[in-house]
Amino acid sequence: MSTRTSPGPARTALAFSLITVAALGLTACAGGEPATAPAGAPGAAKGALPTEDVVAGVKKNEAAAKLLPADVRQRGSFAVAASVGTPPSSAYLPDGRTVVGVDADFTAAVAKALGLEAKREAVGFEAILPALGSGKYDVGTGNFGVTEERRKTIDFVTYVNDGQGFAARADSPLKEITDLTQLCGLRVAVDAGTTFERTLEKNKGRCAEAGKKPYGIDVYNQTGAVWMALQQGRSDLVMSTINGLRYAVTQQKGMKFLNEYRRLDVGFAFKKGTPLAPAFEAAVNGLKADGTYDRILRKWGVTGSGIERSQISPPELPAPKK
């Protein structure tokens, strides 16, 4: 799902602006706290996104709140580094400031359950995990998949299950990718610093082993540029999140979702050894018990991403062998 410096609000807004252009056919996201993008900035979603507030009724979960460290209870807030990318995970509303999506709703719901204020700042995806170690932020969101590599330095509290998939232009002869050797000789567009980039890099040698031409990996720092490369024929496929791809291909002409390649648990990210994880885990499981969890998934059309229960840093789900 690199350690470049955060691109800042303007570039975060620009990234979503680009994906908006691509995902909505090259024609030109309930309730969320304001991000740091300036009012009127580009990046507003032009497609209709749900805006009903499904977390307003969340009550404080006293048992979960008791698990909070004393210093967090005293200050009454936690700092969130949030990557604003594409629906349904995260997006800007037309005001260019308000962030909505699955990540935003779960962040808001957990904050209410713990009796805290979530102070969110829009941060570039690649900068978030390194920034957690510095202590600047308490938690990061950005559809972060739980992998063994990340578990070495990051703690997770899971809240959904998403994963990796592929999309292509409608005229592509490809129907599904079940073996990465099907990519040999093709070019695949991905976002920088993601599990998609790492999966492709890790398996690059499979083509040579099969006596085939290697596949190319087109890495972009802006999500919109990934889709532009596909639209313009510079890349043959996009590898990205399952839910994001399913949404994007419904919003633009000439694109098709190929298939899910693998599933990954997705969670709030924390620095290793965080004392916050037990409270967040209890809060998410409380949301499942009171019905808020299912309301969030239904709102964003991702009921297939539900998990049985939240866990702290569970093992990475097995990857396909092909």
pLDDT digits (tens, 9 = 90+) for 118-163: 999 999 888 999 999 888 999 999 999 999 999 999 999 999 999 9
Q: Is pLDDT of 4 > 60? A: no
Mean pLDDT of 14-40: 33
Residue 37 has what pLDDT? 34
For residue 121, give every residue at least 6 positions away whose Cβ sits within 8 Å of its Cβ, in sequence order, or none: 35, 36, 79, 80, 81, 82, 137
> What is the chain's percent helix, strand, coil content, to nearest 5?
35, 20, 45
Q: Is pLDDT of 32 > 50? A: no
Q: Three-state DSSP class for 293?
A: helix
* Distance separating alpha carbons of residues 202 and 217, to the nearest angstrom: 12
Range in 37-46, 90-99, 129-138, 285-294 the model is least confident about: 37-46
Residue 221 has what pLDDT? 86
Residue 30 has what pLDDT? 29
Q: Is 267:1 a contact under the CB 8 Å cutoff?
A: no
Residue 321 has what pLDDT? 78
Q: Is pLDDT of 33 > 60? A: no
Residue 26 has what pLDDT? 29
Residue 181 burial (CB < 10 Å; 0-12/13-18/19+)? middle
Q: Is pLDDT of 259 > 50? A: yes
Residue 102 has what pLDDT? 97
| 6 secondary structure, DSSP code | P
The first and second tokens of residue 242, run together, are 């399952």
Range in 2-6, 46-50, 91-95 the model is least confident about: 2-6
The first and second tokens of residue 279, run together, are 């409270």
Q: Is pLDDT of 69 > 70? A: yes
* pTM as predicted: 0.83
Q: Three-state DSSP class for 79?
A: strand
Mean pLDDT of 92-96: 88
Mean pLDDT of 86-103: 91
Q: Among 17, 13, 2, which Cα is nearest to 37's? A: 13
> pLDDT for 198-254, tens place per residue?
999 999 999 999 999 999 999 998 878 999 999 999 999 999 999 999 999 988 889
* Distance separating alpha carbons of residues 309 and 229, to the nearest angstrom: 38
Q: Is pLDDT of 57 > 70? A: yes
Q: Is 163:307 a contact under the CB 8 Å cutoff?
A: no
Higher pLDDT, 223 or 314: 314
What percentage of residues in the chain have a pLDDT greater than 70?
A: 85
